[in-house]
Amino acid sequence: MNITLKLYASLGAFLPPGSARNTIELDVAEGASIGEVLALQNVPRGNCHLILVNGIFTPPVSADGKALSEGDTLAVWPPVAGG
């Protein structure tokens, strides 16, 4: 299935060289979990503090149990804040 992966801030380093706008399209196994997708890109899980699937918060601790669906957008940040 096809998903969109967005890795922001320092996690952008785990995208393939030449990726634009912190985004890549990925073809992953049907029902792949967030954890599996992050492992594919070698993203250190300890740095994944904010995980949004289609803009909706997913606690990092449940990343392994949460299956993605065709067309999902997974966006991940290290610890960030602002105001």
Partner 1 sequence: MGWTGKVLRVDLTKGTCAPEDLNREWADQYMGQRGLASKYLAEEMDPKTDPLSPDNKMIFATGPLTGTCASTGGRYSVITKGPLTGAIACSNSGGYWGAELKFAGWDMIILEGKSKKPVYLCITDDKAELLDASEIWGKSVWDTDAWIKTRHQDPQMHVSGIGIAGENGVLFSCIINDLHRAAGRSGVGAVMGSKNLKAIAVRGTGGVKVDDFPAFLAATSAAKEVLAGNAVTGEGLPTFGTQVLMNVINEAGALPTRNTRDVQFDGAHDISAEAMAEPSGKNGKPNLLANQACFGCTIACGRISKVNEEHYTVQNKPEYWHASGGLEYEAAWALGAATGVNDLDALTYANFICNEQGIDPISFGATVGAAMEMYEDGTLTDKDTGGLKLKFGSAEALTTAVELTGKAEGFGAELGLGSKRLCDKYGKPELSMTVKGQEFPAYDPRGIQGMGLTYATSNRGACHLRSYTVSSEILGIPEKTDPLVTDGKADLVKAFQDATAAVDSSGLCVFTTFAWTLEDIAPQVDGALPGNWSVDKLLEVGERIWNLERQFNLQAGFTAKDDNLPKRLLKDAAKTGPAKGLVSGLKKMLPEYYAARGWTKEGVPTNETLSRLAL
Footprint on this chain of partner 1 (rule: CB under 8 A): 6, 8-10, 12, 21-22, 49-50, 52, 54-57, 59, 73, 75, 77-83
| Nearest distance in Å: CB 59, partner 1 | 7
Closer residue to partner 1, CB minimum distance, 21 or 42: 21
Q: How far is the CB of 23 from partner 1 (least distance, A)?
A: 8
Minimal distance, residue 43 CB to partner 1, in Å: 16
Given the structure tokens 């804040």, which residue do they identify? 81
The CA-based diameter of the chain, rounded to the nearest angstrom, is 38
Burial class (CB in 10 A: 0-12, 13-18, 19+), 21: exposed
Q: Of 27 and 61, which has the nearer Cβ to partner 1?
A: 61
Which of these, 9, 3, 71, 8, lies nearest to 36 by C-alpha position? 3
